């Protein structure tokens, strides 16, 4: 499996689309929206990661259950692909962003809380679907 995130950069966040392809047939197997923090020179906890190629491996934790780990990000650690809705704006339940450098996945980009900043929807369902399609992980290219 190999994937590609095409990004659109904004002052408050980075929106994207993830597409996963079958390595043998090159057919599109999965597509979803992504949401990340804005590009702030790869600074820890406040920036999305640089464009490039990464190995993405499955991971399990108490907080996110099954999710993915984006490995070998220069100058960063524990960059995950996991469920959540808010990046660039604060989750009204917690008062903070749902990520600190990770990648959120969802069905669509919609302004959920009326603050003019888009979030991702159906994130838990999208994460479960992504795990079904790529249970062993994938190679990821991030581009603009």
pLDDT tens per residue, range 21-73: 999 999 999 999 999 999 999 999 999 999 999 999 999 999 999 999 999 99
What does 41-64 look like in DSSP terms, one character per residue?
A: TT-TTTSPPPSEEEEEEEEEETTT
What value does the mean pLDDT take over residues 104-127? 96
- Range with the poorest average pLDDT among 65-74, 86-95, 97-106, 108-117: 86-95
State how beta strands 103-106 and 109-110 pair: unpaired
Please tell me whether the overall predicted TM-score, pTM, comes out greater than 0.85 for this model. yes
């Amino acid at each position: 499996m190999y994937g590609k995130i095409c990004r659109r950069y904004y002052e408050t966040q980075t929106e994207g689309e993830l597409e996963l392809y079958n390595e043998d047939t090159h057919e599109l197997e999965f597509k979803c929206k992504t949401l990340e923090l804005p590009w702030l020179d790869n600074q820890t906890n406040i920036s999305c990661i640089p464009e490039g190629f990464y190995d993405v491996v499955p991971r399990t934790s108490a907080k996110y259950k099954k999710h993915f780990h984006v490995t070998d990000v220069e100058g960063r650690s524990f960059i995950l692909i996991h469920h959540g809705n808010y990046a660039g704006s604060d989750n009204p339940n917690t008062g903070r962003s749902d990520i600190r450098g990770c990648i959120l996945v969802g069905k669509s980009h919609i302004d959920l809380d009326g603050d003019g900043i888009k979030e991702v929807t159906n994130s838990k369902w999208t994460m479960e679907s992504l795990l079904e399609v790529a249970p062993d992980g994938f190679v990821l290219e991030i581009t603009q």
